[in-house]
Structure 1
Amino acid sequence: MRKGLILLAIAVLSGCNRKEEGTSPTYKDLTEAVYASGGIYPRNEYKVLANADGILQQKLISEGDSVKRSQLLFVLEGITQGAREQATANIYRQSQANLSSNSPVLAELEAQVRTAQTCLANDSVNYARYRDLYQQNATSKAELERVQLAYQTSRNDYIARRSSLQRTRNQLYVDLQNSRSQYVASGQEQGNTRVRSFVDGKVYEILKEPGEVIRRNDQLALIGSGHDVFVKLAVDESDFGKMRQGQEVVVKADVYPNKVFKARVRKIYPKLNRVDQSFRVDADFVGERPDAYYGLTVEANIIISQNNRVLTIPKSYVVGNDSVWVSENGDKKKVRIVKGAENFDLVQVKGGLNEKSVVVNPE
């Protein structure tokens, strides 16, 4: 990656002409920076997704519109939703009728219980009468046992029919609850065809148009903050170790040729992007910020260090990583130096040279 392509607002750096015969180290203020490129993006960005299958019936927004939380954005027409909702509504109404006071199902069972209760009462009276007759030797034991069996049969039938009535009433109650749940779920699914915004923001992109077939989880639009933006930068792998939260960033956008924006590093992501061998670094603007346009291309210098009055030489005079050619008594020799901070133009010299040294072009 290139470094120092932006003129830093806090320092004006100058180098020496390669055509000069030689130069001496001089004391200057040196700003060390790492070059990064990237874009400007809105905060609270999210993709608007469809929650149901259907056909896009209405698009109620356009790119650039401001939207409010819960504002209706899209309306889908469910492919089978209408029929499903009608079916669940019919089942729910029928379940309510089956458990009502006028329920024909319960009325029939209640009538059977009353009939069994009447039969039990008659057989009970008859059994008591035959029992008295038997005690008076006015009837045979066989007749008493026949009447007793009829009474026991009536009692068991009454108990069974009463239990059947209660079981049916309980089952009808369960059926009503199930049908109500299905009806509510159907209504919620119908609500899923009404797509609303989760945040206050701005519409940056719309991906579907009315008439298109929509599947669940298809992206319909892109929404983000309409005023709060940040810088997403790609920093070369070789410079990543120099990144720290809070570092000052100088940002230049092509769309604003005469402006330089300031920002500070907010977050450093630890995952390497193997496509371009870079790491992601996010920075927040300080003071003036660009308008909320999505993906504006920017170049930036991330300030690594500010070095006041340090001994420097033009970077173009450095040979390899840490050597320069110097002139002594008319002779030219190679000298190793100890480098400090550096930028696109200058290198700090911590050792190997002094103010009187004459550094010559490497030819």
Structure 2
Amino acid sequence: MKQTIIFVVVISSLLTACNKGNDKPTTPQYKALTEAVYASGNIYPKNEYKLIANADGFLVRQTAFEGDLVAKNQLIFQLESISQDARLEASGNILRQAETNYGDNSPVLAELTSQLRSARTKLANDSINFNRYKELYDRNATTRIEYERAELTYQTSRNEVTARQKALQRTKSQLYVDLQNSQSNFRVNAREGDNFRIKTFEAGRVYDIYKKQGELVRRGEQVALIGDANEIYAQLAIDEGDFAKVKIGQEVLIKIDVYKDKMFKARVTKLYPKLNKADQTFRVDADFIDEKPNAYYGMTIEANIIISQNPRVLTIPKNYLVGSDSVWIEENGDKKKIRITKGVENLDLVEIKSGVNEKSVIVIGN
């Protein structure tokens, strides 16, 4: 159960028993009291993330296992998909053919270039022949029919050259478009292929793997849990009644079961404003200062967040308190009940602000 705990700061222990169960008369004493808020929680690595599958496939290869350190962008899992492999291979073949068709040694462009060269050669010959007939016609040395036939042949050759030039340019443009489309299609298939290769986002340690080799992995399924292997933090749950007392920067004393009596120090770094309605707690994060425990994922911890420190306050053992605001004192052999004003308290001591002083004799009431 979460509650506010006020405890004495001593070297050997967070809580010090003070005359608990003693029924002899006592007097109030000045002692140091520290007010703290109790919290429970766990230790987690920073930069924690889960690897998610972006495609359906069988897990055919695994390169890292629980506890392994991994680098950024390291391949962890390889999925297999026959249909995707076939699409990638087909798009690769089409791309290679498109590169060949548009390249310097393109057979398609070579044929059209050869045809254009032949058309230009024919045009040159027809041009010479036309000019010769024109001169003859001008001297009335040939018939008009022969002249017009030569002219028509020349015009046809000139049109053929123009047509061959346009065909070459049109084909070259189309081959360029085909190449761009093939490259885009190949990139899409290659990128889709990347979905079958699951890589890390950041360097860290593999804390958990949810799939085994040979199992079918569905798109959107989690396959591994990874976190920073060097940086850890304490994730604490604070009772909603104590949350208003907690502030960023407050010191935290943390007890971890696996370290027995060892105490770790941390500092509050973040407060989360959303209430967890399941257990009526708020989340608080704390970073370790000085020594850190090993980065074991999810270690259970108990903590006390230091709210205030009182180096010298008047206290009495808590078992001498009657109700919540009175004590029995002894004066001249008589007992009488005195109302007091109390301050902070822990499991053993309670601060007395008024009602008695250090000379008062406090007894257990009947």
CA distance in 2, matches of 1:27, 1:5: 15
**CA pair 15-121 structure 1, distance change in 2 beyond 3 A:** same
Partner residue in 1 for 2:350: 347
CA drift of 1:189 comes to 4.4
Match of 1:324 among 313, 321, 326: 326
After TM superposition, list the pairs within 5 Å mapping 1:79-98 onto structure 2: 79-98=82-101
Q: 1:239-296: CA deviations, max 9, x gaps? A: 2222233322222223333333332223333333333232222223334433332111
**CA pair 99-68 structure 1, distance change in 2 beyond 3 A:** closer
Q: 1:26-68: CA deviations, max 9, x gaps? A: 3111011100000112233222233443210123333233444
**CA pair 146-4 structure 1, distance change in 2 beyond 3 A:** same
CA distance in 2, matches of 1:5, 1:81: 64
CA distance in 2, matches of 1:9, 1:287: 19
After TM superposition, list the pairs within 5 Å mapping 1:106-185 onto structure 2: 106-136=109-139, 148=151, 151-185=154-188
Higher deviation after alignment, 165-174 or 22-31: 22-31
**CA pair 108-288 structure 1, distance change in 2 beyond 3 A:** closer
Partner residue in 2 for 1:310: 313
Paired amino acid for 2:242:
D
Q: 1:164-201: CA deviations, max 9, x gaps? A: 20121132133224323443554454455343444443
Match of 2:248 among 235, 239, 245: 245
Match of 2:30 among 27, 47, 51: 27
Q: Secondary structure at the match of 2:308?
A: strand
**Which 5+ residue runs of structure 2 have no aligned equivalent?**
none
TM-score when normalising by structure 1: 0.81
**CA pair 175-6 structure 1, distance change in 2 beyond 3 A:** farther
Q: 1:186-219: CA deviations, max 9, x gaps? A: 4454455343444443322110011211234422
Paired amino acid for 1:354:
N
Partner residue in 2 for 1:13: 16
Partner residue in 2 for 1:58: 61
Higher deviation after alignment, 182-191 or 35-44: 182-191
**Which 5+ residue runs of structure 1 have no aligned equivalent?**
none
Q: Secondary structure at the match of 1:4?
A: strand
Paired amino acid for 1:280:
R
- Does structure 1 conserve the Cα–Cα contact (< 8 Å) formed by 2:65 and 2:206? yes
- Does structure 2 conserve the Cα–Cα contact (< 8 Å) formed by 1:6 and 1:299? no
Partner residue in 2 for 1:38: 41
State, as a whole percentage, how many aligned pairs show the same letter. 54
CA drift of 1:349 comes to 3.3
- Does structure 1 conserve the Cα–Cα contact (< 8 Å) formed by 2:6 and 2:33? no
CA distance in 1, matches of 2:224, 2:6: 36
CA distance in 2, matches of 1:5, 1:63: 41
Higher deviation after alignment, 133-142 or 243-252: 133-142
CA distance in 2, matches of 1:118, 1:228: 78
After TM superposition, list the pairs within 5 Å mapping 1:221-300 onto structure 2: 221-300=224-303
Higher deviation after alignment, 324-333 or 248-257: 324-333
Partner residue in 1 for 2:3: 2
**CA pair 255-13 structure 1, distance change in 2 beyond 3 A:** same
Q: Secondary structure at the match of 1:80?
A: helix
Give the alignment's Cα RMSD to 1 decimal: 3.6
CA drift of 1:162 comes to 0.1
- Does structure 1 conserve the Cα–Cα contact (< 8 Å) formed by 2:27 and 2:358? yes
CA distance in 1, matches of 2:87, 2:34: 69
Q: Secondary structure at the match of 1:32?
A: strand
Q: Secondary structure at the match of 1:255?
A: helix
CA drift of 1:333 comes to 5.8
TM-score when normalising by structure 2: 0.81
Partner residue in 2 for 1:212: 215
Q: 1:86-126: CA deviations, max 9, x gaps? A: 10121022112212455342233224323432443344334
CA distance in 2, matches of 1:239, 1:333: 32
CA distance in 2, matches of 1:161, 1:192: 46
Paired amino acid for 1:324:
S
CA distance in 2, matches of 1:325, 1:289: 45
Higher deviation after alignment, 231-240 or 13-22: 13-22
- Does structure 2 conserve the Cα–Cα contact (< 8 Å) formed by 1:324 and 1:359? no
**CA pair 361-273 structure 1, distance change in 2 beyond 3 A:** farther
